[in-house]
Structures are given as structure tokens and as C-alpha cells.
Amino acid sequence: MKDYSAPLDLLAGRVILVTGASSGLGRAASLAFARHGATVALLARDEAKLDAVYEEILAAGGAEPAMFPYDLAIADDRSLETLAGTLAHHLKRLDGVLHSAHQFFNLTPLTLQTLEQWQALMRVNLIAPFALTRACMPLLKQAPDASVVFTGETHGHHPSAFWGGYAVAKSGLETLTRIWADETRPEDNLRINTLIPGQVATSLRARTHPGLAPETLPTPEDIMPWYLYLMGADSHAVRGQIIECQR
């Protein structure tokens, strides 16, 4: 997939919701989706950063995006259903969701991680992606070809010391992906997958691996072929998969 060349109209006419759209992989994906024809619904808690991405999309000639300042750390069923209803009212459809928002504290032994930290990690990295997808499911099932992509993490797939609650939450996304794919009927025209980006030059990677020079790592833009492939119709048969970006 790293050599996948997406046609410029790959996502034409589609509406795609991106969480964590204000920075890192979410920002890069929002720009890439818009560049390939999508109307992007931008969701993040920082309204100022969201506004910057909004302006970037417009400056590049993309369709006017929608902005949803929203904190997944305090999400509940009612507010998520309201969010889904707002999407339906203003954008009329939903063809895809990319879950890129995340919560991370630091690398520490399990004995130093607190209950409060684990609750926050589970809520943003696992519970909110489930609940938001569930709230959007009626809209997604109306789409002729819908895709949900969870963003996994290498240490959730291959557990190792000090990643603690973050890795546990990210590993839960893989189980969630497989269960949901198993419950989805072929006639629903809905596919759900998890993509593990690996080491990418983001602010998170700078915190977890400060000794790695950013210029030695792929940029978020470098891995957009995977995101475009999974969000577009060419991946129609890819369902319930845990995909590690190979470079």
C-alpha cells in the first residue's frame, strides 16, 4: 500500500469525519482527504488549531470543511448522538470515519500509573472511538461504500514495558475491529479496519523517543497512501484487518 497512487477524485462526493484533526496524523489525513475530493468534518478539542486546518484546506482549493470542536475525554452517548445528528443535518451523509485522536501521558512502569490515568487513556483511546462509531452507525450504513479506520499503535500490537494503559487501550481497538467486522453484514457496505502507522515524525513520537532525529523518520504525509487506500473504494474487500504500515 505504500506505493498506492490515489486518483485525485478518489473521495469525490464523500463526507469523512476525522478525529484528532488539528495536528499530526489527523491533520495530514484531513488535508489528504480534502485534496482527493472529500468534504472533511474536522473534530478536535482545540478550536484555534482546527481553524488553522480549516483555512489550509480552503487555501489548497478543497471543499469547505465542517468544524466540530469537541473533547472526547468528556464524551457521553447523548452528546455523541447530537454530534451525529448535526452531521446528518448539515452534511446529509457520512462515508467514513478516521479515528486519530489520542490521549497519552508518558512512559512509566505499571506500578507508577494511576487509576485516573488509565480511565483517561481508556476513555479517549478506546471507549470514545467505539461510542462515536456506534453513534454514527446509522449514517454510515446509509452510505454506498463506508469505511471506518481506527489508528492503532505498534506497542498495542507488540506489547512492551512502560507503555501500560496506552498500549492496553490501543490493543483493545484491534479486538473491537475484529468483533465489529464479524458483526457487520456484507450487504451493509461497511468495512472497519485498524491501521498501525509505526514510527512517524509526530509530537507523540518526539515524547516517547526523544533520541530519534525527526528527519530520520517518515513524515505523516509519507504514510497517507495507506489512509487513502483504506478510506477509498479500492479497499472495499478489506474488512476486519489489523494493518501495519511497512516501509
Q: Give Dmax (Cα) for the chain.
A: 50
DSSP letter at 93 equals -
Partners of 17 in the beta sheet? 41, 97
**Catalytic residue status for 4:** no
Active-site entry in 70, 166, 227, 229: 166
- What is the torsion angle, in degrees rounded to the nearest 10, for the CA atoms of residue 156, residue 160, residue 161 and residue 162? -30
- 157 within 8 A of 171, measured Cβ to Cβ: yes
Q: How many CB atoms lie under 10 A from the CB of residue 73?
A: 13
Q: Catalytic site residues? A: 166
